[in-house]
């Protein structure tokens, strides 16, 4: 019995502004591909397959591409927090990180409606500060999906840690469920091409299909596993890659004991079973 969580980070232009510091016409156009081409294709595929998914959306995207972001909710998918403008929480003071998190949630609410209540978080950097989990816990956030201490099994995220060359000591377990991610299961390293810094990507969809199918088949042998794919509408949204994803979803559906769910539902179910 395995649960598949298809997740899409709807970074759009925020990735280029904040993480890559490139704001000229070409990078902006690469970001615009997400709302203009990638997202409509992704939403159409999810509708066709009858699958609910999770989208992590920077507040910057929700404001800049508001109608497109609302469509995600209208189609019944989940939206989780993904930073104010795709910034890393690492290196921020606790106060600054808390205020940026609150600003991101407030801006998402202004863009999507005051009844919008996010229950999940994915760090735009796939990295956390020593305070991140405690800040999420204080705000009642159910899950984080940024860390890699397991491959297919959720676990309780720990509240910080102590690290030195003498020893490593994880902090106490929090009430935040960690839904682990993996570079192997992210479309970015496989496909994304960057010239500054040089980042090759550009694998064929067939190669990535094989890698993802093998990972999925292994996860399906583990009782209670959660198989989480991380994708980006501007990357997976190119035609042949969408065809590959469609094929993969069909393969998953033909594997007995597989269900699809949002990350929020997968985290809630795991939390209930683990108490």
Residue 90, phi then psi, degrees to nearest 5: -70, 130
Binding status of residue 11 toward Zn ion by CB under 5 A: yes
C-beta closer to Zn ion: residue 58 or 154: 58
Q: Among 2-10, 140-148, 161-169, 208-216, which window interacts with Zn ion (CB under 5 A)?
A: 2-10
Binding status of residue 187 toward Zn ion by CB under 5 A: no
Among 27, 80, 118, 124, binds Zn ion (CB under 5 A): 124
Q: Which two tokens stand for residue 232?
A: 């980006």
Binding status of residue 89 toward Zn ion by CB under 5 A: no
C-beta closer to Zn ion: residue 61 or 131: 61
Binding status of residue 237 toward Zn ion by CB under 5 A: no
Binding status of residue 9 toward Zn ion by CB under 5 A: yes
Q: CB 38 → Zn ion: shortest distance, Å?
A: 13
Q: How many residues bind Zn ion (CB under 5 A)?
A: 3
C-beta closer to Zn ion: residue 124 or 154: 124
C-beta closer to Zn ion: residue 159 or 241: 241
C-beta closer to Zn ion: residue 9 or 144: 9
Q: CB 18 → Zn ion: shortest distance, Å?
A: 9
Query: Given the rule CB under 5 A, which residues bind Zn ion?
Result: 9, 11, 124
């Amino acid at each position: 019995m395995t649960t598949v969580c298809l997740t899409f980070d709807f970074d759009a232009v925020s990735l280029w502004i904040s993480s890559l510091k490139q704001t000229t016409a070409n990078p902006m156009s690469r970001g615009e591909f997400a709302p203009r081409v990638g997202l409509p294709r992704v939403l159409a595929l999810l509708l066709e397959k009858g699958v609910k998914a999770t989208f992590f959306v920077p507040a910057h995207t929700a404001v800049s591409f508001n109608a497109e972001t609302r469509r995600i909710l209208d189609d019944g998918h989940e939206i989780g927090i993904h930073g104010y403008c795709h910034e890393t929480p690492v290196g921020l003071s606790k106060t600054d990180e808390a205020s940026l998190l609150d600003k991101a949630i407030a801006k998402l609410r202004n863009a999507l409606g005051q009844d919008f209540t996010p229950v999940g978080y994915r760090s735009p950097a796939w990295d956390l500060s020593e305070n991140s989990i405690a800040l999420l816990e204080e705000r009642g956030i159910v899950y984080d999906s940024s860390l890699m201490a397991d491959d297919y099994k959720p676990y309780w995220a720990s509240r910080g840690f102590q690290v030195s060359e003498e020893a490593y000591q994880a902090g106490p377990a929090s009430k935040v469920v960690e839904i682990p991610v993996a570079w192997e299961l992210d479309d970015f390293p496989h496909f994304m091409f960057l010239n500054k810094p040089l980042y090759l990507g550009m694998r064929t969809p067939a190669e990535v299909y094989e890698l993802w199918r093998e990972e999925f088949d292994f996860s399906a042998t583990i009782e209670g596993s959660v198989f989480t794919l991380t994708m980006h509408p501007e990357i997976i949204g190119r035609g042949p890659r969408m065809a590959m994803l469609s094929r993969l979803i069909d393969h998953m559906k033909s594997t007995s004991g597989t269900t699809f769910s949002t990350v929020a539902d997968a985290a809630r179910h795991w939390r209930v079973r683990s108490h």
